[in-house]
Structure 1
Amino acid sequence: MQIVKETAFMLKVTAFFCLFVFLIGPSYAKDEYYLTLRNNKVNLRQGPSFEHPIKLVYKKKFLPVLIKDKSDNFRKIIDHENNSGWIHVSQLSKKKAALNNVDNSIIFKRPSYYSKPLALVEKGRLCFIKKCEVKWCKVTSGDYTGWIVKSSLWGKIK
């Protein structure tokens, strides 16, 4: 009888622990987030160390990248073309930037389609984010500052 009680107690403790880990664990998991490239030349490596070979070289300062994972001082990233690899943290910046991912987006004077259009933005154009609202982001691209539809941007728009 004593063995049955001990077994039942252990099953309850195990079930509680599993439920606790299942419900609470994901809240401690690191979410994906965006950073930008700090320099005009940044190496994307096949693995998380300087010993791993260079996969490709980025040549665009402030290009946004999505951080997926980390290992010591390296971050696993995915870019707007779905290239993935590892970049050293010294090559990453918190500057808010995004790429226009729609052909011929329009920068408006105010966050409304009825506002005055200021510029036409080509696909792949880098935009620096000033602030974002529900559906619009205030951006600077080249000599133009205005509002662009948030859904047309890829990068740090929060």
Structure 2
Amino acid sequence: MSVRTIITSALGAALLAISFSFGSGPVAHAQGAAKGASGLPLPRFVSLKASRVNLRVGPSTDYAVSWLYTRSGVPMEIIQEYDHWRRVRDEDGTEGWIHKSLLSGERTAAVAPWKRGAKDVFVEMHAEPRRGAGLVARLEPGVVVAIDECNGDWCRAEIQQAEGWIAQDQIWGAYPGEAFK
């Protein structure tokens, strides 16, 4: 099930083309490739702070809403900044604008969203950052986890009462090779 609810609007469809005038051009796929107006790196990952967030086709409340996210903690990738607005991309590739007050620097990640819908596919969470370490949990694709550390190959993740390590190439919410604490 998607974490967003589509809002249909004739105005939204008509204004969708306008959003391309604010396009980000080619997007780098490694953190730190550029700096935004905020001084923070672009692109970068954040999460939704609020439980109801409108994704707009342009950087203002004057623009139509194209999606409604109905859960906090959803990972987002900021790909552009304009004033107090952030152009974001979600795990499905949907792009739009969200006011910065609705975003959090807390890192979250979606577990292998590209495997969503596959039968009997799980991603393993281990007790240590290595294959073959004790199994903590088996997670379904699309599950959102909090991440607080990545070493370039593994990320320490938490979901409900389970904590452990997930291979970094099995999440959407950290760049390949990205390390942070």
Normalising by structure 2, report the TM-score.
0.69
Q: Which one has a bigger Cα radius of gyration?
A: 1
Moved over 6 A (4+): none
Is structure 2 residue 135 aligned with structure 1 residue 117? yes
Identity %: 27
Q: Are the counterparts in 1 of residues 34 and 43 from structure 2 also a CA contact under 8 Å? A: no
Helix, strand or coil at the partner of 1:62: coil
Aligned to 2:97: 86
Aligned to 1:47: 58
Which stretch of the first structure deviates more once superposed, 89-98 or 133-142? 133-142
- Cα distance in 1 for partners of 2:167, 2:34 equals 32
Deviation at 1:28, TM superposition (A): 5.9
How many residues are aligned here? 132
Among 88, 106, 111, the residue aligned to 1:95? 106
Gaps of 5+ in 2: 1-32, 37-41, 116-120
- Identify the structure with the greater helix proportion: 1
Aligned to 1:5: none
Distance 1:92 1:28, change over 3 A: closer
Distance 1:70 1:156, change over 3 A: same
Deviations 1:25-72 (A, max 9, x none): xx7654211111001110000111001111010012111111111111
Q: Are the counterparts in 2 of residues 48 and 86 from structure 1 also a CA contact under 8 Å? A: yes
Aligned to 1:153: 171
Helix, strand or coil at the partner of 2:169: helix
- Cα distance in 2 for partners of 1:40, 1:87 equals 13
Deviations 1:100-150 (A, max 9, x none): 014410011111212111110000111111211131111101221011101
- Cα distance in 2 for partners of 1:43, 1:140 equals 26
Gaps of 5+ in 1: 1-26
Is structure 2 residue 90 aligned with structure 1 residue 72? no
Helix, strand or coil at the partner of 1:90: helix
Q: Are the counterparts in 1 of residues 46 and 104 from structure 2 also a CA contact under 8 Å? A: yes
| Superposed CA RMSD | 1.6
- Cα distance in 1 for partners of 2:79, 2:150 equals 23
